[in-house]
């Protein structure tokens, strides 16, 4: 006899408490293989596919699309044939689930196809078809004999006369809305004529406003920004900088063979250099507010636009990377975010954020800190502006730099020193970057 195993929603990383069902990948009655993705869910971090560690026949699914499922709640139940898949673990007390394949990257074996119980031509899954047919009654209810009109299930229309049906069809009348006056609720011609002669219901006034529920990423962002605004006494300072030399350096570097260097990569390298000189800004305040955690590694977050909205991928150990390496990692994470392939691990663990809002065509911003980080560097658009250069008025490539910081971790002198160093690197990148 098959054993029905229950697969619950696991913790998808970073202590997430739940996930929203985006799309079911299997149906009840379908035969699945071990580690086959069964559902696509959206967490506060990313959209991922969840593989099931059991192979067999899906006997139940829990949660409709759009519904949030808590971690530890049932996702699916699977009827596992003896000796198949992870069945030996069922003998343990309590049963132990086998480890899952990595979320979002698990793929079906080459040539494997989903198979329904009894489907002609289905490929062989984890549970042999012969055994799957024996398991099928677990998921399929027994047939029910037709009930008389008086005890018909809700939605069954009690109509015998073809004339009654034709009149209703010609007048676009839904017979399910008509109360029958005949024996056992039978709908007669007079019932249809009475329904047609009744005054039409007054249409409800159009709704002028609607409520869009906060779900998934938008909900997580709202909660995080609210917490940041409530807990962190943030302050912002800013300065204009002449980025002409920075743009010239980038053009010079990109004339050489090899990967092209982006402005963001140069700014990321300048940020890690600035944090090396002002390490107190690569920190966070403890949850109870009693201390400051100084981070030894710089995990650099940066804002990136995706179909799910604005996300913040994290370049791990950015302090150990050169400009070309930073550019390569920034490009990889940006592409993954845009294509929806980014993982929760790549969106967490940041210690400092670089926010290039200049891509939106704006000059300045006072952002809310990415809790629990203590600082964020913002960069506006680089655009031609009048500027005094070498004592003369000239048109130069100018940008506005802003720096938002947690005032608990440092005073204005430290924040100002950090921002001034960044501005100097932007204005004289050749000289200062060679000294780093």
Last residue of a domain, one of 106, 122, 138: 138
Distance (Å, rounded) from C-alpha 389 to C-alpha 381? 20
Last residue of a domain, one of 95, 110, 138: 138
Q: Is residue 399 part of a domain?
A: yes
pLDDT at 165: 77
Nearest to 389 by CA among 250, 241, 267: 241
Told to judge if 407 belongs to the known catalytic residues of this protein, a careful annotator would answer: yes
**Using an 8 Å Cβ cutoff, are 5 and 95 in contact?**
yes
CATH of the domain at 18: 2.40.50.100
- What's the average model confidence in pLDDT over 423-427? 96
Judge if 271 and 378 occupy the same domain.
yes
One of 11, 229, 389, 411 is an active-site residue; which one?
Answer: 411
Cross-strand partners of 57 = 31, 79
Only one residue has tokens 């067999």, namely 56
Judge if 303 and 427 occupy the same domain.
yes
Cross-strand partners of 78 = 5, 58
**Using an 8 Å Cβ cutoff, are 62 and 76 in contact?**
yes
Sheet holding 47-52, edge to edge: 47-52, 36-42, 18-24, 68-70
For the chain, state the CA radius of gyration: 31
Distance (Å, rounded) from C-alpha 312 to C-alpha 333? 10
Q: Is residue 198 part of a domain?
A: no
Tokens (6 digits) for 231: 């807990």
Distance (Å, rounded) from C-alpha 49 to C-alpha 42? 9
Judge if 232 and 134 occupy the same domain.
no
- Total structural domains in the chain? 2
Helix (H, G, I), strand (E, B) or coil at 310: strand
DSSP string of 152-207? PPTT------HHHHHHHHHTT--GGGPPP-SGGGPPPHHHHHHHHHSPPPPPPPPP
Asked whether residue 74 carries a pLDDT value surpassing 50, the answer given is: yes
Judge if 122 and 19 occupy the same domain.
yes
pLDDT at 315: 98
pLDDT at 432: 65
Distance (Å, rounded) from C-alpha 104 to C-alpha 190? 60
Q: Is residue 179 part of a domain?
A: no
Asked whether residue 112 carries a pLDDT value surpassing 60, the answer given is: no
Q: Is residue 273 part of a domain?
A: yes
Judge if 222 and 132 occupy the same domain.
no
Judge if 429 and 291 occupy the same domain.
yes
Last residue of a domain, one of 122, 138, 154: 138
* Helices (H), ranges, 232-322: 244-255, 263-277
The sign of the CA dihedral 66, 70, 75, 77 is negative
Told to judge if 319 belongs to the known catalytic residues of this protein, a careful annotator would answer: no
Phi then psi for 120, rounded to 5 degrees? Answer: -75, 135
Q: Is residue 134 part of a domain?
A: yes
Distance (Å, rounded) from C-alpha 355 to C-alpha 336? 18
Nearest to 343 by CA among 33, 66, 14: 14
DSSP string of 222-240? HHHHHHHHHH--EEEEEEE
Q: Is residue 173 part of a domain?
A: no
Judge if 115 and 234 occupy the same domain.
no
pLDDT at 103: 42
One of 171, 229, 389, 407 is an active-site residue; which one?
Answer: 407
The sign of the CA dihedral 263, 264, 265, 271 is positive
Q: What's the count of helices (H) and strands (E) in the chain, helices before strands?
A: 9, 20
pLDDT level of residue 91 (50, 70, 90 thresholds): very low
pLDDT at 148: 42
Judge if 335 and 429 occupy the same domain.
yes
Asked whether residue 392 carries a pLDDT value surpassing 90, the answer given is: yes
Judge if 284 and 416 occupy the same domain.
yes
Tokens (6 digits) for 50: 């969840």
pLDDT at 27: 93
CATH of the domain at 361: 3.30.559.10
Q: Is residue 417 part of a domain?
A: yes
Q: Which domain holds residue 392?
A: 218-435
Nearest to 354 by CA among 271, 243, 235, 232: 271
pLDDT level of residue 68 (50, 70, 90 thresholds): confident
pLDDT level of residue 405 (50, 70, 90 thresholds): very high
Q: Is residue 209 part of a domain?
A: no
Mean pLDDT, all residues of the chain: 81
Point out the least confidently predicted range of 202-206, 213-217, 360-364. Answer: 202-206
């Amino acid at each position: 006899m098959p054993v029905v195993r229950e697969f619950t929603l696991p913790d998808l990383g970073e202590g997430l408490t739940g996930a929203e069902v985006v799309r079911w990948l299997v149906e009840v009655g379908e035969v699945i293989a071990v580690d086959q993705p069964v559902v696509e869910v959206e967490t506060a971090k990313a959209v991922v596919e969840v593989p099931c560690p059991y192979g067999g026949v899906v006997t139940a699914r829990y949660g409709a699309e759009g519904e949030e499922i808590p971690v530890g709640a049932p996702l699916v139940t699977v009827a596992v044939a003896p000796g198949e898949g992870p069945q030996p673990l069922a003998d343990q007390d309590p049963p132990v689930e086998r480890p899952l394949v990595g979320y979002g990257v698990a793929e079906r074996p080459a040539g494997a196809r989903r198979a329904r119980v009894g489907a002609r031509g289905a490929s062989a899954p984890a549970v042999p078809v012969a055994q799957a047919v024996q398991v099928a009654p677990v998921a399929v209810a027994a047939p029910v004999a037709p009930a008389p009109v008086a005890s018909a299930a809700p939605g069954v229309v009690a109509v015998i006369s073809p004339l009654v049906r034709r009149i209703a069809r010609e007048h676009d009348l839904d017979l399910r809305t008509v109360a029958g006056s005949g024996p056992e609720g039978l709908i007669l011609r007079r019932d249809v004529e009475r329904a047609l002669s009744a005054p039409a219901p007054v249409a409800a006034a159009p709704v002028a406003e609607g409520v869009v529920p906060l779900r998934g990423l938008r909900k997580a962002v709202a909660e995080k920004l609210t917490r940041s605004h409530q807990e962190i006494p943030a302050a912002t300072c800013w300065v204009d900088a002449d980025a002409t030399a920075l743009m010239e350096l980038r053009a010079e570097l990109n004339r050489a063979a090899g990967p092209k260097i982006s402005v963001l990569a140069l700014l990321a390298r300048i940020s890690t250099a600035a944090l090396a000189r002002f390490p107190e800004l690569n920190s966070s305040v403890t949850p109870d507010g009693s201390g400051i955690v100084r981070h030894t590694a710089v995990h650099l977050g940066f804002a990136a636009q995706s179909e799910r909205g604005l996300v913040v991928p994290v370049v791990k150990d950015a302090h150990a990377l050169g400009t070309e390496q930073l550019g390569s990692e920034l490009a990889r994470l940006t592409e993954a975010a845009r294509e929806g392939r980014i993982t929760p691990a790549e969106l967490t663990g940041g210690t400092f954020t670089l926010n290039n809002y200049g891509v939106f065509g704006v000059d300045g911003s006072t952002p809310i800190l990415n809790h629990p980080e203590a600082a964020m560097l913002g960069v506006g658009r680089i655009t031609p502006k009048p500027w005094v250069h070498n004592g003369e008025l000239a048109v130069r490539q100018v940008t506005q730099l802003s720096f938002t910081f947690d005032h608990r971790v440092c005073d204005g002198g430290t924040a100002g020193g950090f921002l001034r160093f960044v501005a100097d690197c932007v204005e004289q990148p050749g000289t200062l970057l060679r000294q780093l």
